[in-house]
Chains A and B, each alone.
Chain A
């Protein structure tokens, strides 16, 4: 192993000699996965804050913190991937206006600021109250987080309300830009027939929504085990199904279109989908982790099952969909590189457990957001007090 790029294990046909390396490996699989979860979780929150879907109120605040915990880790896989992470700030200093990747620094930062401010303004009233009860270090923390203000009078809260509405409103297009743009990074590579499709940003965005909603359902059910709001879960499942229909249909349309057009690119893609990607794409991504949860979600959305069944199968389907999106990222990111640009050969690739961009670092990066979420839970109360009766707080 060379430390910069993973070397392919098997080759079929003729691959250009430089195409034996998989330059974008596990880390670049995780990066769109994490930003997708961020964008999706933000959309869940916006469904309540902007579109006033009342059933989602119990998780509206939590999903913002959930999004923030993942956003805080979104750059880690990238930094771990770069050959020169110490030069990463070059992206801010000299961003190339023609590069699809150069906007990342600014888009990511702007979105991070919007998300952070949204959280702080939504939580301000709570934070001010907590500040009064806290002492010592925590008092300082709450003082900073409440932006040094103690004013929770009606005029101040009305102003907060306006700011929240504004942030949520610009947050939706920004979440879409953040993730649609990740799709653009891939879709814009004309040299790679698997990536080069205008549908790529659309598919990335839809799968982002799907993974965000599924992630929220799974963590909500784990954290509030036995005490979940069933109306909230039921509407989440409906939204999940709705977004997943679009996501899955577009994924299938994309490959169907390629097959139907049958240009010379298709011969290479065919070798890929029926070669090194056969198992991870057809068996896992499509058959097991798309078709099965699709029908579970359909059943749960159309038929009113008892709570226990909704909880059990809702959890299973959401967890499966979380994995489906990860598989989709794998099949796009890694899959695209397994097909040599000679269009005459495919290479195989298996990640190692212990190496710079191996499986262990990937697991660490995926566990970190959970750790951050745990720390956040010590500062921000995730759940509203007495959810069913209270309607005073935003």
Chain B
């Protein structure tokens, strides 16, 4: 990473204010500059302790995990709204969504997710005639697989797994062949119609690196989404993983080893 001093930045600004702003806007020198400016100008509340020390290319001391607590989710769609706002996700594409499950006493499973739950759930399901046995909401997002299919199939190295376990997309190299979209067993990927590149949930990597929680975790009013460090014995994540709950992952048989875990996952969930 470039180490640009603030004084140098000021000099640069005085030299050619207009050109400088233009460059920042067009992104040519944004990369290294934005890393420096927020540190002084914008203080983020540190929701993840210790992230200030993680200044290297990869996060070294932490092992992040994401837990979705199905027993708590109320299906309000706050997470979907926050996500859409954070990334300006184009209409009809979803980095995250919330499914509604209704299981009747004949084991018929009714699932829906109108507009991915973005507008909340306003209507009851009318086609459930038998008495309901079980009903719950399931938020979905990137499973951040330990063995991701998407990075395996990407022909050009535009989607990759960092050494700290995040699966990210390089939108400057992606050719939008859609192979990763086909390969993802969880259908969390899409081709962003604005950038015309593959896109997906990143567990808000940019926020996490600044010490903030993922946008969806931050807004969840009932703490159904939990994000934290498995190496931190005081973290809620660490404690939950050590309790005798039902903790499972989606499509275990795919062999992708997701690091997204579900608390209270029913077998009917796909």
Chain A contacts to B: CB under 8 angstroms: 2-5, 7, 14, 16-21, 23-24, 78, 81-85, 87-88, 90-91, 93-96, 98-102, 104, 185, 188-192, 336-337, 340-344
Contacts and interface: CB of A to CB of B under 8 A. Distances in A.
A17 B116 contact: yes
A23 B182 contact: yes
B197 interface: yes
B94 A191 contact: no
Nearest to B99: A14
B193 A102 contact: no
Contact of B183 (A4, A104, A191): A191
B153 A99 contact: yes
Contact of A18 (B151, B187, B196): B187
Interface stretch (B28-36, B105-113, B232-240): B105-113
Contact of A90 (B175, B186, B190, B193): B175
Contacts of B156: 87, 90-91, 93-96, 102
A16 B186 CA distance: 8
Nearest to B96: A17
B191 A84 contact: no
Interface in B58-73: none
B130 to A, nearest CB: 18
Chain B interface helix/strand/loop/mixed: loop
Given A19-B187, A84-B196, A191-B254, A4 B155 contact: no
Nearest to A336: B182
Contact of B193 (A3, A94, A189, A341): A3
B191 A5 contact: yes
Contacts of B181: 18, 23
Given A83-B197, A87-B156, A101-B155, A94 B173 contact: yes
Given A3-B193, A4-B193, A83-B197, A96 B157 contact: yes
A18 B190 contact: yes
Contact of B184 (A87, A91, A191): A191
B270 interface: yes
Given A4-B191, A17-B116, A18-B188, A337 B182 contact: yes
Given A18-B181, A18-B187, A84-B196, 8 more contacts: A2-B193, A18-B189, A83-B196, A85-B175, A90-B155, A96-B155, A190-B149, A341-B270
B167 interface: no
Nearest to B270: A342
B92 interface: yes
10 contacts: A14-B111, A16-B97, A17-B113, A78-B177, A84-B175, A87-B156, A96-B155, A99-B179, A190-B254, A341-B186
B47 interface: no
Interface residues of B, number: 47
Contacts of B190: 5, 18, 21
Contact of A99 (B155, B176, B187, B196): B155
A96 B177 CA distance: 14
A273 B181 CA distance: 22
A23 B99 CA distance: 23
A18 B178 CA distance: 12
A108 B157 CA distance: 20
A14 to B, nearest CB: 4
A191 B179 contact: no
Contact of B173 (A7, A23, A90, A101): A90
Contacts of A189: 149, 153, 182-183
Which of B97, B140, B153, B155 has the most CB atoms of chain A within a 10 A radius of its CB?
B155
B93 interface: yes
B154 interface: yes
B152 A24 contact: no
B175 A99 contact: no
Interface in B163-217: 173-179, 181-193, 196-197
B115 interface: yes
Which of A17, A101, A190, A191 has the most CB atoms of chain B within a 10 A radius of its CB?
A17
B191 A23 contact: yes
B178 A5 contact: yes
A337 B177 CA distance: 15
A23 B190 CA distance: 9
A99 B173 CA distance: 15
Nearest to A90: B156
A101 to B, nearest CB: 4
A86 to B, nearest CB: 9
Which of A14, A94, A337 has the most CB atoms of chain B within a 10 A radius of its CB?
A14
Nearest to B172: A87
B113 A14 contact: yes
A91 B113 CA distance: 37
Nearest to A83: B176
